[in-house]
Amino acid sequence: MCPHSSLKQEFLKKWIMGLQRCSFSKKNMSILERKKTIKLSADIAMASARNGTTRWSRALISNASKDGSDNRLVQQILGPESNTPVAAITNKARTRRALVCKKIVKRSRRQIRRRRRKCVAAAPVKAVTSSIAKHLVRKRTQVLKTLIPGGEFMDEICLIEETLDYITSLRVQVDVMRSVASASVRASEP
């Protein structure tokens, strides 16, 4: 995958650097802790390889920084060249405002739906199927919003763009981790 090779190298470099910064070579880590460190540093490396150009990467880093127990680890991995505090603060302020706005919109939508239900007669079949399709799309979009980091605050177009980028980055992450695993299996053979 030619266009992905630079992304792969960038991800690998940041991931290895992150692991080294967590003093990964210390032998006194449990298996679970090691796995968490590997996964966290891989996710952070994948997000920081985007350099804050995409919303999901910023949301991923700020979500990881919000969690108290992981925050120290995240700061260690990102190192001195990070600018995370600013991103975390703006996301938090936006979160609170967005949640309040969403509640208001949800409440008014519920009232309007109740009023509309009272005066709707039997709808024609075509309208019913298209409304079922719309309902399915809306439901699945909601599920997608929970899967993409920071997806709850995006509109549809933005969500699809972020999904495209997120899937590409996830594939790169999986490819690199798989080749590292096979390389370490080969390295462990005598």
Partner 1 sequence: MSSRRSRQSSATVSRISDDQIIELVSKLRQLLPEIRNRRSDKVSASKVLQETCNYIRSLHREVDDLSERLSQLLATIDADSAEAAIIRSLIM
* Residues binding partner 1 (CB under 8 A): 9, 12, 16, 19-20, 24-25, 29, 31-32, 34-35, 38-39, 42-43, 101, 104-105, 108-109, 133, 136-137, 140-141, 143-144, 147-148, 155-157, 160-161, 163-164, 166-168, 170-171, 173-174, 176-181, 183-188
The C-alpha atoms of residue 17 and residue 45 are separated, in whole angstroms, by: 9
Q: Which of 117/121 has CB closer to partner 1? A: 117
Q: Which of 40/78 has CB closer to partner 1? A: 40
List all residues 6 or more positions away from 66 whose beta carbon is below 8 Å from its beta carbon. 88, 92
Please report how close the Cβ of residue 132 comes to partner 1 at its closest, in angstroms.
Answer: 9
The C-alpha atoms of residue 86 and residue 26 are separated, in whole angstroms, by: 32
Please report how close the Cβ of residue 170 comes to partner 1 at its closest, in angstroms.
Answer: 4
Q: Which of 67/89 has CB closer to partner 1? A: 67
The C-alpha atoms of residue 181 and residue 186 are separated, in whole angstroms, by: 9
Q: Which of 118/186 has CB closer to partner 1? A: 186
